[in-house]
Amino acid sequence: MDMGMIFLVVSALLVTVTADVYIVTIEGDPIISYKGGENGYEATAVESDEKIDTSSELVTSYARHLERKHDMILGMLFEEGSYKKLYSYKHLINGFAVHVSPEQAETLRRTPGVKSVNKDWKVRRLTTHTPEFLGLPTDVWPTGGGFERAGEDIVIGFVDSGIYPHHPSFASHHRLPYGPLHHYKGKCEEDPHTKKSFCNRKIVGAQHFAEAAKAAGAFNPNIDYASPMDGDGHGSHTAAIAAGNNGIPLRMHGYEFGRASGMAPRARIAVYKALYRLFGGFVADVVAAIDQAVHDGVDILSLSVGPNSPPTTTKTTFLNPFDAILLGAVKAGVFVAQAAGNGGPFPKTLVSYSPWITTVAAAIDDRRYKNHLTLGNGKMLAGMGLSPSTRPHRLYTLVSANDVLLDSSASKYNPSDCQRPEVFNKKLVEGKILLCGYSFNFVVGTASIKKVVATVKHLGAAGFVLVVENVSPGTKFDPVPSAVPGILITDVSKSMDLIDYYNVSTTRDWTGRVKSFKAEGSIGDGLAPVYHKSAPQVALFSARGPNTKDFSFQDADLLKPDILAPGYLIWAAWCPNGTDEPNYVGEGFALISGTSMAAPHIAGIAALVKQKYPQWSPASIKSALMTTSTVIDRAGRLLQAQQYSDTEAVTLVKATPFDYGSGHVNPHAALDPGLVFDAGYEDYLGFLCTTPGIDSHEIRNYTNMPCNYDMKHPSNFNAASIAISHLVGTQTITRRVTNVAEVEETYTITARMQPSTAIEVNPPAMTLRPGASRIFSVILTVRSVSGVYSFGEVKLKGSRGHKVRIPVVALGHRH
């Protein structure tokens, strides 16, 4: 082998090692905004909020033209084989994703006609009883023809980890037959092994996007599946929350926990898999999935995903590639629900920023699962465990894992985790309750309650107790279903009570070996839920405002989150091969928490609103959900939020709009809001153009439109909320409302605010005919500068019973 050959091999290796995925945007309009002008290609753009017919010859020929242009630029600049184009983006943005070296990326940056070159980066997932809690079966579904019609002909797109198509939540046989869908044109991939389609009449589209993941070397086809198959569980869970079939028996370990149903059980599901279980996903794949979903004609997009870290190329939160492409989706008339993020309870932890997106915070609903351990000394210790009880009226001997080992050498396996049955002496454990330690391994997922259950079964124990001895702040404990009696004692002081009782009751010889086990106890029934009036509450993990306009965390003049929906301990479909949660491996359902679970609740409820009002814009649907939401819990008190106390214990505090946005969703009221605050593409553009600190060239890069400053201030964007981050003296804000009821109605307008800010409204009343719009003003004045936001609301009360409420937040400054 001569030296020249060796050099060639090495240099080829070098190229592959240093290549990265870049997202490149090109001058010229994408399909959604092309108004004509290029030789031989007619306009493909439509008015704001309208659907484009993507199968028309006009659109397909312009799409081919854009793709040829992308290929031409790459072919002109680089040698064949030195780069790999992964995607051409044509619908919402004009550009492509390409795998090239940093030097080639620099060449692209300098090429005329190239607008931007962004290095790809990672995104992450934001990780049943709720239809009843939200009043759907009694108040909402009957008005639309019952659950058999709830969400009919609405397509919800899920950009997530795929779907397990064989789950009963997604079955279409034994169901009322579905009619044809004329507006949706998505593809259905086949399972590469069985050659069966991923679709049925319920799942109408199924595609996967992994080119960037493959190029980055992160994709493993054995566990990630080169198909829409869910390798994680998260995608099946979110799809079932929004649109799962009604009345699916939720059985686990021989016990039925209830019946599962989606918010819009007749809505169709379109799957765009771009998330994978080990590494999350890449923006290039997610952008391709969103672009395809809008091109295919979905009505609603549910996104339980957010950027992992700020992008390097834009300082503006509203123009990160996520929000920028979603602006195109909303322009095409698609309603977008996105999880707020799980970084709570700390301020400014949101990963969803823009006015065109509906940002969803997570609530705890009224169902709680509790259990208790009764000790032989009469003490009852509270804990959690979705398990059956030990036999009634009987106490069982308690044995600690470390006291029943076969030999002392087993201690190197961390035996107190109870993960390995082979290290224990079966004779000593059989028929007794095994005490195990809840170590850090459970928090990181290397130990699981599912494995403790397997150990207990293998040894013939009567049950188990998992004892939390020390807790790091922010550890969240969720009850896990168990086939055997079991309980997790999460309160450290209760754990100490148990350990003290065990030590006093257990006699040992001089070496420390146990002579006799005399501690006793019994485990209660944890299967039956307890319903609380103090619901909903804002969940601890739910990301909080204020919203930020840039990645140096300056406050934005827009309230986020927008709305609160259930996101704590949600039962829904799981895929048996999903490994996202070690406690649910091999199961058909899972009970999990996250703003990931809250977003599909809103996507499904938005489907019910869109079904009733098919012509409404995404902004109108969002407004209907927000203005009818509630800030009162079931007990009639103001909403509370979970927060950390000074001692880092979880406590409840009075919640604010930075926790819940406009309030907790009320689906029944959202179907008849009276008034809506509508907005379209021009309004979103005005919001961007008037936000201080955003470069107008950057806006033009993303929108292909010149700036328009008529709005004067971003607070005048017609949102169903008001936020002013820098209030000096007096500021007047305007809002435009439209009567969407079928009758004329007179509204009286009132407002109130915390004392440091004065608030007035003008006019005090107005009458609107059906379909008519009117403008009103809100005047805010600084009374005293306290350094903290003051909160308030504007209420519009209709003569025919409609109630419209919007939150107001303002931070007063001296100058």
pLDDT of 480 over the 70 cut = yes
605 and 502 share one domain: no
Instruction: Output the CA angle 16-19-24, nearest 5 degrees.
Output: 145
- For residue 684, which phi and psi values (nearest 5 degrees)? -65, -40
Q: For residues 110 and 577, which has the higher predicted lDDT (pLDDT)?
A: 110
Q: For residues 532 and 731, which has the higher predicted lDDT (pLDDT)?
A: 731
| pLDDT tens by residue, 42-64 | 777 766 556 677 778 888 889 99
Average pLDDT in the 500-529 region?
A: 87
Q: Which residues pair with 307 in a beta bridge?
A: 123
Average pLDDT in the 723-745 region?
A: 96
CATH number at residue 310: 3.40.50.200
Cα 234 from Cα 200, distance rounded (Å)? 20
pLDDT at 125: 64
- Of the residues 531, 547, 580, which one is the last residue of a structural domain? 531
Is residue 157 within 8 Å of 301, Cβ to Cβ? yes
In a domain, 650, yes or no: no
In a domain, 674, yes or no: no
Return the C-alpha torsion angle 574, 580, 584, 590, nearest 10: -40
pLDDT at 790: 95
pLDDT at 301: 96
pLDDT of 17 over the 60 cut = no
3-state secondary structure of 401: helix
245 and 140 share one domain: yes
485 and 543 share one domain: no
Cα 288 from Cα 472, distance rounded (Å)? 39
Return the C-alpha torsion angle 283, 312, 118, 235, nearest 10: 0
State the DSSP string of 436-498: EE--HHHHHTSS-HHHHHHHHHHHT-SEEEEE-----TT------B-SS-EEEE--HHHHHHH
Q: For residues 151 and 623, which has the higher predicted lDDT (pLDDT)?
A: 623
Q: In which band, very low, low, confident or very high, does the pLDDT at 584 lie, cut at 50, 70 and 90?
A: low
Cα 798 from Cα 561, distance rounded (Å)? 26
In a domain, 656, yes or no: no
Q: In which band, very low, low, confident or very high, does the pLDDT at 4 lie, cut at 50, 70 and 90?
A: very low
Q: In which band, very low, low, confident or very high, does the pLDDT at 525 lie, cut at 50, 70 and 90?
A: confident
Q: For residues 309 and 97, which has the higher predicted lDDT (pLDDT)?
A: 97
Read off the tokens for 34.
């092309």
Is residue 65 within 8 Å of 87, Cβ to Cβ? no
Residue 722, CA atoms < 13 Å, CB-side half-sphere: 31
**pLDDT, averaged across the chain:** 85
pLDDT of 3 over the 60 cut = no
In a domain, 276, yes or no: yes
43 and 146 share one domain: no
CB atoms within 10 A of CB 334: 24
478 and 586 share one domain: no
CATH number at residue 30: 3.30.70
548 and 508 share one domain: no
Q: Which residues pair with 197 in a beta bridge?
A: 190
C-alpha of 651 from chain center: 24
In a domain, 693, yes or no: no
In a domain, 14, yes or no: no
Cα 360 from Cα 376, distance rounded (Å)? 47
170 and 299 share one domain: yes
- Of the residues 481, 505, 531, which one is the last residue of a structural domain? 531
pLDDT at 6: 35
| pLDDT tens by residue, 449-472 | 888 999 999 999 999 998 887 766
Read off the tokens for 360.
């969803």
In a domain, 691, yes or no: no
State the DSSP string of 602-668: HHHHHHHHHHH-TT--HHHHHHHHHHT-B-B-TTSSBPEEEEE-TTS-EEEEE--HHHHTT-B--HH
pLDDT at 577: 72
Residue whose pair of structure tokens reads 């079955």 in the numeric block: 171
pLDDT of 296 over the 90 cut = yes
CB atoms within 10 A of CB 719: 25
Cα 525 from Cα 396, distance rounded (Å)? 15
373 and 347 share one domain: no
Q: What is the pTM of this model?
A: 0.84
pLDDT of 308 over the 70 cut = no
Is residue 308 within 8 Å of 124, Cβ to Cβ? yes
Read off the tokens for 362.
């997570």
Q: Of the given ranges (294-298, 420-424, 614-618), which has the lowest mean pLDDT?
A: 420-424
How many residues in the chain? 815
Cα 573 from Cα 582, distance rounded (Å)? 15
pLDDT at 410: 63
User: In the chain, how many domains are there?
Assistant: 4
pLDDT of 138 over the 60 cut = no
Cα 400 from Cα 463, distance rounded (Å)? 12
Q: In which band, very low, low, confident or very high, does the pLDDT at 1 lie, cut at 50, 70 and 90?
A: very low
| pLDDT tens by residue, 266-291 | 999 999 999 887 767 888 999 999 99
Average pLDDT in the 169-176 region?
A: 80
581 and 599 share one domain: yes
CB atoms within 10 A of CB 765: 14
Return the C-alpha torsion angle 351, 355, 358, 364, nearest 10: 60
Q: Which residue range is the domain that position 746 belongs to?
A: 718-812
In a domain, 685, yes or no: no
pLDDT of 645 over the 80 cut = no
Cα 223 from Cα 501, distance rounded (Å)? 46
280 and 194 share one domain: yes
pLDDT at 172: 83
| pLDDT tens by residue, 349-394 | 888 889 999 999 998 876 667 778 889 898 888 888 777 888 888 9
State the DSSP string of 232-272: SSHHHHHHHHHHPPTTEEEEETTEEEEEE--SSTT-EEEEE
Q: Which residues contact 180 (CB under 8 A, 6 or more apart)?
A: none
pLDDT-above-90 percentage for the chain:
44
CATH number at residue 742: 2.60.40.2310
pLDDT at 367: 66
pLDDT at 776: 97
Read off the tokens for 550.
């840039």
393 and 451 share one domain: yes
158 and 274 share one domain: yes
pLDDT of 136 over the 60 cut = no
pLDDT at 127: 52
**Cα dihedral sign, 172-176-182-184:** negative
CATH number at residue 386: 3.50.30.30
Cα 404 from Cα 673, distance rounded (Å)? 64
3-state secondary structure of 187: coil
Average pLDDT in the 310-318 region?
A: 71
Catalytic residues: 160, 234, 596
Is residue 618 within 8 Å of 356, Cβ to Cβ? yes
- For residue 370, which phi and psi values (nearest 5 degrees)? -130, 160
CB atoms within 10 A of CB 224: 24
- Of the residues 531, 553, 575, which one is the last residue of a structural domain? 531
Return the C-alpha torsion angle 750, 751, 752, 758, nearest 10: -120
pLDDT at 579: 61
Is residue 169 within 8 Å of 247, Cβ to Cβ? no
